[in-house]
Structure 1
Amino acid sequence: MGRFLLFISLLLFVVILVSCSDESNPVTPPEPSADTVAPYAISDLMILDKSDNSVTLIFTVQGDDSLSGRAKLYDVRYSLSSIDSANFNAATQFTYSIQPKPGGLADTIIVTGLSGATSYYFAVKIGDEVPNWSPISNVVSTQTLIEANWTIYNTANSDIISDTVLDFKSLNTTRYFVSRNGVSKLLNNVWDTVYSTGDYLIDSVGDTTFFGSPESISLAPSGLVWLGLPIAGVAKIDDTLITIYNNQNSGLSSDAVTDVLFTNTGIWVGTTLAGLFKFDGDTTWTQYTTTDGLVFNGIESLGEASNNDIWIGMSLYGLSQFDGASFTNYNATSNNFVNRDIWDLDISITNNILMSVNLDGIYVYDGVDFTQYDTSDGLRDNTVTAVAYDNNGNIWAGTQFGLSMYDGIDWITFTTGNSELPDNFINSLALDMFGNLLIGTNNGAAILEIQ
């Protein structure tokens, strides 16, 4: 009985205590636990696009708490050197105020205000409303495009003879553009046709008419123009006087000319199967074949080094060097090179030989070693149609899918999608007298003025 009375007394005490409470003395609820869960780190940060002053990043967004929910903000950083978790806050912060998309979706950030032709590293953190910051993302790097001015010439905006530009050269302030329709000259913004293919009928077989279409050009300091005609020999243009040299009227025993090169030691002519010819400009032609030490009689390209050595890109059998007395051959048999077509070559001021090698990208020979660059290094495509060095020593490589440039560290590629390049199929590359890059395409010529 005593225990029962004690229970009743306690119950009445609790009822009285509750009834005496009012709004001025509310019961304080427990505080909610603080948000301490950060978003996960972005793990698939990639470069989507770039220009001469911006880079577009793309990645999969993480949620507010780990993978769930929607995060609140980004912290985007870039630097000229590699970024890690220790130096993330020291990297330059890019101001970006747009809220992240819901977790699991793809998002892009365009980082602007960058310098052209500069290598940058990028990293991102994602934060919630506290903010709790995620760990640093994976780090990506790229080089912005060159700050460049483009000038485009085609049959719609100029008097160039054709939109398919196969080769060109410049002499002082005059530029020559070669196409199968002929040769156009540009001087002081005035166009002139100096050679018209239709004026030079070579042969007729059945319903097919063959004309002396040029594919290569070389210029003498005096202003003489030399043209390689693939089925018609060699043409010399002296102002308005045009002379054709072929197997009927000269010591050039083959009309199948692949390249022509003017040097101080003579005019050099490469042929499809008859080897190499040297012309003294007057009457004497000298022929060099496998009998003289040439590795093969099929020639694709020619170049001259500063010591007057002639470098010869072969069909199928690599590279040859002629010092005026003997040939040195570089291929899979004699050196650590390849038996491939050398479609084009250029020679640097330090006598490095730059070559476009059929299906194998490009090679550089420094006098000791051959170094290959292909798509695994950043080259646009392994079928390279034209190569050139610029005055800064950068390597340019034209492909059927765009134009690539290598500065010794990074590759960048110009296409119709990210530049004013008129066509992605590059036929020829050369420098003009100002150091600008001349680009021959199937849709006109481009002059790239490099800043």
Structure 2
Amino acid sequence: MKTQNFLNSVLLALLGLLMASAVGAADLVFSPAAPAVEVGGQINLSVSGTNGAVTWTPSMGPIQGTGNQVTYLAPAETGVDSVRVLDEVGNAGTADNFGTVKITVTAKQLISQKNANWEVFTNRDSVGAFALSKDKVTLWVGTEGGLEKRNASTGELDRVYINTDGLPDNDVGALLSDAQGGVWVGTSWGLAHLKADGSWLVFKTDNSNLPSNSVRALLSDAQGGVWVGTEGGGLAHLKKDGSWQVFNKDNSNLPSNDVDALLSDAQGGVWVGTYRGLAHLKKGGYWQIFKTDNSTLPDNWVTALLSDAQGGVWVGTKRGLAHLKKDGSWQVFNKDNSNLPSNDVWALLSDAQGGVWVGTEFGGLAHFKKDGSWQVFKTDNSNLPSNDVEALFSDAQGGVWVGTFGGLAHFKKDG
């Protein structure tokens, strides 16, 4: 009996401790919630909701200072440092639901010395998409390692959003700013909407009518809705009222369910670049299809689209660059008949002067000017970080943001 009473006392004591711990436990709140810092740099961190002394335990870089506000000193190598934070009563922070705040340590942003008009940011291996915020303050950058929020003027990295922040997947291949200050994010595993208030909406095949989780292209419908190009699922239209309309090979004249590029026309229609040809869905629902066997399109795999501002369309393909003019005539550029450095075109951008910037695979960045001349930038004649150029975007000064396999570059107009 004494033994049983002793055991009961021990159990009651343990239960009391557990209850006290549960009552005292609280989630710590970190600021910033998803910090990013260059190698060798430092960043101030703070935590609130603590009770008593605070212990910071990093796995890579040291912590300077004590208490609720400290300075993190980034190590010499890149990576993600998981810093565990505990207070005196054992409260653990829940920045990622594992009692740690994750600090992204990026490569140092390098300023080109070889060519003063180039600025290169090598903190991400591959950059595939851009979008500018409504207020033109933020440059959103889609990478294989998450969504970057950067200063649109300087390129300075503000923070990185990854899957633990609400992103459905870290591989970001399409971006579109909304009119309210948020951004639509197309990933390899779903579509996300990061609203201006910081909340997330995620659309996948299992919770919506999104036809495929692999989102390759995004386009505004100018009515508050979004056109979504997917890999394997065709073209989807998410309307402002929340309803969906899906176009695929079975229910429409879409030539392929693999959609890589989208472009609006001036009449409310949509140009669609697919794996099996170029499609034009006109406002009235009529389809016009261009392929190698019925037009001068150099290849059926259409990878990029750009308006020429005259009613025509520039078309990037795997076998050259084509210009479909308003009158229906075609002009084709390739390595054999022009200075296009590669026939594999991945990205197109207007220079606002009647010329076109062309991002290619293996051939670098080409500028086809209005006067017909070409200027080509490669790793051997400039500070372009890679000859594989995936994305292009204009800055406010007439320069170009360049997304490559080797990182982010900024070509300044005044160089």
TM-score of the two chains, using structure 2 as the length reference? 0.65
**2:173, 2:218 → 1: CA distance?**
9
Whether the 8 Å CA contact 1:317–1:338 is kept in 2: the answer is: no
Amino acid at match of 2:138: T
Q: CA distance change for structure 1 residues 224 and 282 in 2, over 3 Å: closer, same or farther?
A: farther
Which is higher, the Rg of structure 1 or of structure 2?
Answer: 1
What's 1:132 paired with?
none
**2:257, 2:382 → 1: CA distance?**
40
**1:282, 1:293 → 2: CA distance?**
25
**1:197, 1:213 → 2: CA distance?**
9
Whether the 8 Å CA contact 1:293–1:326 is kept in 2: the answer is: no
What's 2:323 paired with?
364
After TM superposition, give the deviation of residue 386 of structure 1 in Å.
1.4
Whether the 8 Å CA contact 2:161–2:167 is kept in 1: the answer is: no
Amino acid at match of 1:327: W
After TM superposition, give the deviation of residue 298 of structure 1 in Å.
2.1
Query: 178, 184, 193: which one pairs with 1:226?
Result: 184
Amino acid at match of 2:377: F
What's 1:405 paired with?
367
After TM superposition, give the deviation of residue 335 of structure 1 in Å.
3.1
What's 1:235 paired with?
192
Query: 165, 177, 180: which one pairs with 2:144?
Result: 180
Query: 395, 418, 425: which one pairs with 2:388?
Result: 425
**1:166, 1:331 → 2: CA distance?**
26
| Structure 1 counterpart SS, 2:352 | coil
- Cα RMSD of the aligned pairs, angstroms, is 2.2
**Which aligned pairs between 1:193-204 and structure 2 lie closer than 5 A?**
193=159, 195-197=161-163, 199=165
What's 1:275 paired with?
234
**1:364, 1:213 → 2: CA distance?**
31
**2:116, 2:376 → 1: CA distance?**
13
**Which aligned pairs between 1:386-397 and structure 2 lie closer than 5 A?**
386-397=347-358
After TM superposition, give the deviation of residue 308 of structure 1 in Å.
2.7
After TM superposition, give the deviation of residue 220 of structure 1 in Å.
1.5
**2:147, 2:222 → 1: CA distance?**
24
**2:179, 2:242 → 1: CA distance?**
20
After TM superposition, give the deviation of residue 276 of structure 1 in Å.
0.9
Q: CA distance change for structure 1 residues 286 and 178 in 2, over 3 Å: closer, same or farther?
A: same
After TM superposition, give the deviation of residue 435 of structure 1 in Å.
2.9
Q: CA distance change for structure 1 residues 324 and 434 in 2, over 3 Å: closer, same or farther?
A: farther
**1:378, 1:339 → 2: CA distance?**
19
What's 1:348 paired with?
308
**1:343, 1:434 → 2: CA distance?**
27
| Structure 1 counterpart SS, 2:256 | coil
Whether the 8 Å CA contact 2:272–2:281 is kept in 1: the answer is: yes
Q: CA distance change for structure 1 residues 430 and 306 in 2, over 3 Å: closer, same or farther?
A: farther
After TM superposition, give the deviation of residue 198 of structure 1 in Å.
5.0
Query: What is the count of residue pairs matched by the alignment?
Result: 289
Amino acid at match of 2:280: S
**Which aligned pairs between 1:35-434 and structure 2 lie closer than 5 A?**
149-155=117-123, 162-171=124-133, 172-187=136-151, 189=154, 190-193=156-159, 195-197=161-163, 199=165, 211-230=169-188, 232-239=189-196, 240-265=198-223, 266-290=225-249, 291-358=251-318, 360-367=319-326, 368-376=328-336, 377-399=338-360, 400-408=362-370, 409-434=372-397
Cα-to-partner distance string for 1:176-219 (whole Å, 9 max, x where unaligned): 111011111122645323521355686xxxxxxxx452111111
Cα-to-partner distance string for 1:288-326 (whole Å, 9 max, x where unaligned): 123222233221111112333211101122343432522
Whether the 8 Å CA contact 1:180–1:197 is kept in 2: the answer is: no
Amino acid at match of 1:284: S
Q: CA distance change for structure 1 residues 193 and 317 in 2, over 3 Å: closer, same or farther?
A: same
**1:347, 1:201 → 2: CA distance?**
31
After TM superposition, give the deviation of residue 273 of structure 1 in Å.
2.3
**1:212, 1:422 → 2: CA distance?**
22
Q: CA distance change for structure 1 residues 201 and 321 in 2, over 3 Å: closer, same or farther?
A: closer
Cα-to-partner distance string for 1:400-446 (whole Å, 9 max, x where unaligned): 23111111421121112222222222111121333321101122211
Whether the 8 Å CA contact 2:298–2:332 is kept in 1: the answer is: no
Cα-to-partner distance string for 1:17-47 (whole Å, 9 max, x where unaligned): xxxxxxxxxxxxxxxxxxxxxxxxxxxxxxx
Cα-to-partner distance string for 1:379-410 (whole Å, 9 max, x where unaligned): 11111221211111211111223111111421
**2:141, 2:231 → 1: CA distance?**
23
Cα-to-partner distance string for 1:62-120 (whole Å, 9 max, x where unaligned): xxxxxxxxxxxxxxxxxxxxxxxxxxxxxxxxxxxxxxxxxxxxxxxxxxxxxxxxxxx
After TM superposition, give the deviation of residue 281 of structure 1 in Å.
3.7
Q: 428-437 or 374-383: which moved more?
A: 428-437
Q: CA distance change for structure 1 residues 201 and 379 in 2, over 3 Å: closer, same or farther?
A: closer
After TM superposition, give the deviation of residue 148 of structure 1 in Å.
7.6
In structure 1, runs of 5+ residues without a counterpart are 1-146, 156-161, 203-210
Amino acid at match of 2:194: I
Whether the 8 Å CA contact 1:226–1:262 is kept in 2: the answer is: no
**1:148, 1:411 → 2: CA distance?**
20
Amino acid at match of 1:235: A
**2:333, 2:206 → 1: CA distance?**
43
After TM superposition, give the deviation of residue 373 of structure 1 in Å.
0.3
| Structure 1 counterpart SS, 2:127 | coil
TM-score of the two chains, using structure 1 as the length reference? 0.60
Q: How much identity, in percent, do the aligned residues show? A: 24
What's 2:103 paired with?
none
Q: CA distance change for structure 1 residues 315 and 148 in 2, over 3 Å: closer, same or farther?
A: farther
